[in-house]
C-alpha cells in the first residue's frame, strides 16, 4: 500500500460549516463508507444512498450507536433515470450542508467491441445524476449562504486511457464541472472540490483485479477521503492524488489548473461586473 500524508482538518469548523446533514451518494462501501465514518465522527447526520439497502442500514445503525448521529437511507441505483431527483426527495426537510457525489463503476472494455448500454449507464451515473443532485442542493446552499460539494472523480479524467474511454470521459466532465462551480461560487461561501482519485484498495477494485494483482501501488481509501474533506474546507477546487505515469508532474498540474481558474474568475468579472 502506498502512504499518503494526511492533511490537517479542523473537525469542529468542518461540522459548523457543512453540517448538520450530509448526503453521500454511493455510501455502502469503499470511499463512500470512509466518508460516512469520518463525517459521523464529527457529529454530522447522514443521508446514505446506494443500491444495497441492507448495507446502508447496517452502516447507519452502527454509526448512530457509536456517534449518536441521525441517518436516513435511500436504496437507489445511481445510474437509473431520475436518480438525482430521488436523492433530493430523500433529503426533503433536512438542513443539508454537504453533498458528496461518489458513484462507483466497473465498466472497463474496448469501446468498439462493446455495446453502448454500459456507456449510457456511465453518462447517467457520473453526469445526469450529478447534475440534478448538485443543482438541487446547490440552490439550498445559495439560500443558506454556505455549503459544500465533493465530486469524487478520477485521475482517469485528466486524460484518455485505453479500455476506459467512457469512464475517462465522464470523469473529465466531473473534474471540469467541479472546477467551474468552484469558480462560480467559492466567493459566495460555497465550496466545491473535484477529486482526481488514484488507484485505491476498495471492494470495487478487488472485485475487478485477479487475486495476484500487485496492490503495492494502491492507496488506502480512508486517507484519500480524509484529504478530500480537508481540501474542501481549505477552499481548493481540485485535488490530484499522484498516481500513474507522469505522477511527478501532477502537483504542478494541480497548481496550474487552479491558477487558470483564478485568472478566469477575474477575467469574467469584466463581463459580470464582479
Q: What is the pLDDT of residues 40-83, one digit of tens each?
A: 999 999 999 999 999 999 999 999 999 999 999 999 999 999 99
Predicted pLDDT of residue 203: 83
| pLDDT, greater one: 71 or 108 | 71
Q: What is the pLDDT of residue 166?
A: 93
**Predicted confidence (pLDDT) per residue in 169-216, tens digit:** 999 999 999 999 999 999 999 999 999 999 999 888 888 888 888 888
- The whole-model pTM stands at 0.96
CATH of 11-272 given 3.40.30.10, 3.30.1330.60, 3.40.50.720, 2.120.10.60:
3.40.50.720
DSSP 74-117: EE--TTSTTHHHHHHHHTTTS-EEEEEE---------GGGS-SH
Residue 103: predicted pLDDT: 87
Residues 6+ apart with CB under 8 A from 226: 6, 7, 9, 34, 38
Residues annotated catalytic, as ranges: 167, 171
Amino acid at each position: 500500500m502506498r502512504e499518503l500524508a494526511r492533511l490537517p482538518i479542523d473537525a469542529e469548523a468542518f461540522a459548523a460549516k457543512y453540517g448538520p446533514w450530509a448526503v453521500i451518494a454511493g455510501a455502502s462501501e469503499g470511499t463512500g463508507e470512509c466518508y460516512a465514518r469520518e463525517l459521523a465522527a464529527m457529529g454530522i447526520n447522514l443521508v446514505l444512498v446506494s443500491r444495497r439497502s441492507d448495507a446502508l442500514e447496517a452502516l447507519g445503525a452502527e454509526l448512530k450507536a457509536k456517534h449518536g448521529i441521525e441517518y436516513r437511507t435511500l436504496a437507489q441505483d445511481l445510474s437509473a433515470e431520475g436518480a438525482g431527483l430521488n436523492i433530493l426527495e430523500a433529503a426533503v426537510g433536512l438542513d443539508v450542508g454537504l453533498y458528496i457525489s461518489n458513484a462507483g463503476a466497473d465498466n472497463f472494455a474496448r469501446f468498439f467491441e462493446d455495446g453502448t448500454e454500459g456507456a449510457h449507464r456511465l453518462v447517467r451515473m457520473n453526469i445526469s445524476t450529478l447534475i440534478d443532485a448538485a443543482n438541487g442542493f446547490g440552490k439550498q446552499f445559495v439560500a443558506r449562504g454556505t455549503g459544500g460539494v465533493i465530486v469524487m472523480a478520477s485521475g482517469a479524467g485528466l486524460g484518455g486511457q485505453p479500455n476506459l474511454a467512457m469512464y475517462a470521459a465522464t470523469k473529465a466532465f466531473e473534474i471540469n464541472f467541479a472546477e467551474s462551480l468552484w469558480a462560480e461560487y467559492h466567493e459566495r461561501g460555497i465550496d466545491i472540490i473535484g477529486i482526481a482519485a488514484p488507484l485505491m484498495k476498495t471492494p470495487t477494485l478487488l472485485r475487478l483485479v485477479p487475486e495476484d494483482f500487485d496492490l503495492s501501488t494502491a492507496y488506502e481509501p480512508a486517507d484519500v477521503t480524509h484529504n478530500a474533506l480537508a481540501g474542501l474546507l481549505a477552499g481548493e477546487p481540485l485535488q490530484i492524488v499522484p498516481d500513474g505515469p507522469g505522477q511527478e508532474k501532477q502537483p504542478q498540474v494541480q497548481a496550474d489548473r487552479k491558477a487558470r481558474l483564478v485568472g478566469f474568475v477575474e477575467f469574467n468579472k469584466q463581463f459580470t461586473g464582479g
